[in-house]
Amino acid sequence: MRHAFAWLLVVAVFARGGGAQAATPFRLGLNADNWSGQTDSAQFRESVRELGVEFIVWHVHPVEIDTGHIQKAIEFCRRDGLGYLFNTEVVNYLPPEARFAADGGKTYRWDLGASLLNQVKDDPLFLGVVYDEPLLMQSLAGAVVFNRPVPPYFADTNKMTPEKAFDAVAGRIDELSAHYRQYNARMVLETLLPDASFVGARGGAVLAVKLLKENYLDLMTMMAAGAARQYLPENEKKGRGLELWACVDLWYLDTFPNAEMHGTTGKNGGHAPELLRQALEYAYNAGFDAAYIEMNKGLMDAAWKLTGHGTAAAAFDRWRKARPERTADWRTPPPAAFTVRRFPSGNPGGKLPDFLNLSAYGSGSYRFRDCRPSAGTGYCGKDQAWFKWFAAHAKNVGPVAPEAFAGTTFNSGAESPGSALERIGRPYQPLAGLPVIDFVDHTAPPLPAGKKDQVDFYGDGK
């Protein structure tokens, strides 16, 4: 009986067809894998039930598909009527292998093939395929990470300007999202860098914006909602990219929360259980359609029983189910203090780790570190104007140089604002203290001149 009810619930909530749709109730998911055989554990199943999740994002490995082991994850979800998606992040870290050489060998990623997709395309519980931080990999194209050159992920943009690189990557995402829709599957993009939302939304993907991770980000939320709204009319015509999700990620700031698993609080304590609960409430109140927690090893111990983080997530589930029907919806823009037309460099700011030598969507003409100390002309000047404006309108930001901007990502060191605020128990809320901003990207028409509430970082607007 529970299976039948849950099956109907998932079908009703996650509309799989095209066209416009009404705002959906908030849905909670879990990011997991079956690499330890946990789907055979009765305790794992019980903990999943305690969490109250409606879908699972499964990290998968090619061997699971080759051997048919993937069926255990599928059957686990079918038994309790849980929606499921496949996450292909493992390719980001595996040694070069022929099966991941996409586009005739020009790019390197894992696109799931017809052999698996045909098996699940008519299953109403199958929700889609998750590309995990792919635009981070694209922005690393050409960099050397741990003695390995990073190949292009979506498109070879090495000889392109940032504008052309943006267009090429968005075009490839558009082709892939259309491909997956043939199998009744969403293409979901986990986005870590704030500006990545625009290229994903233009390509018709469902955005899963990172919360927690290394950041408190009103910037992330406002950019993702602005990008999704900007391209919603076109995506409605194509029947894809109709939702906005959050990936509430327990990793870092400063260390994965291993306290209950390994008897340590990590280098600087990790994300506290209360912060996880507050981040989920933040996603709920921001009008996201869904949020899933990455990953289950922070929610369960070695015996698959709920940890303090899992208990906090279960408390959130009870909280949201006890509330009246939600009215918040990202599709309706809030009254904005500013409309900002974003320059498409993708520069996240912050003190980036040494191995993150990022560029503008893989563009060979603009790597961010080439501008430090920040220059005042060309692409560097446009990015400098962006961060300077933000510093002037955000609370407690301080220096205006991109590498010192505290409202974006990767501020995860011991002295960073994020980790310090977590230790003193600050609630999950915007770190930068930005006013409400409605973002549009460089493909939008130029903003009218002379209005104080409209800001164009694209320079001449061409």
| 428, part of any domain | no
**CA nearest neighbour of 323 among 277, 281, 278, 275:** 281
| 386, part of any domain | no
pTM of the predicted protein model: 0.88
Q: How far apart are CA 184 and CA 259, in angstroms?
A: 40
Q: How far apart are CA 141 and CA 357, in angstroms?
A: 9
| 153, part of any domain | yes
The range of the structural domain enclosing residue 119 comes to: 24-322
CATH classification of the domain holding 110: 3.20.20.80
**Per-residue pLDDT in tens (0 to 9) along the chain, 462 residues:** 334 334 333 444 454 433 334 447 899 999 999 999 999 999 999 999 999 999 999 999 999 999 999 999 999 999 999 999 999 999 888 877 888 999 988 999 999 999 999 999 999 999 999 999 999 999 999 988 878 889 999 999 999 999 999 999 999 999 999 999 999 999 999 987 878 899 999 999 999 998 887 655 577 888 899 999 999 999 999 999 999 999 998 876 555 665 544 444 445 556 778 888 988 998 998 899 999 999 788 899 889 999 889 999 999 999 999 998 888 899 998 888 899 888 778 887 766 667 788 899 999 888 888 776 656 788 888 888 887 787 777 765 555 555 555 444 444 333 333 433 333 333 445 555 678 889 898 887 877 776 778 888 775 444
Strand-pairing partners, residue 339, are 438, 454
| 187, part of any domain | yes
pLDDT at 395: 67
pLDDT at 336: 86
| 268, part of any domain | yes
pLDDT at 137: 93
Rounded to 10 deg, the angle between the 308-322 and 273-285 helix axes is 30
Buried b (16+ CB within 10 A) or exposed e, 328-364: eebbeeeebebbbbbbbbbbbbbebeeebbbbbbbbb
Q: How far apart are CA 330 and CA 223, in angstroms?
A: 11
| 401, part of any domain | no
pLDDT at 4: 39
β-strands 101-102, 83-87 pairing: unpaired
pLDDT at 409: 43
Q: What's the total number of domains in the chain?
A: 1
pLDDT at 316: 97
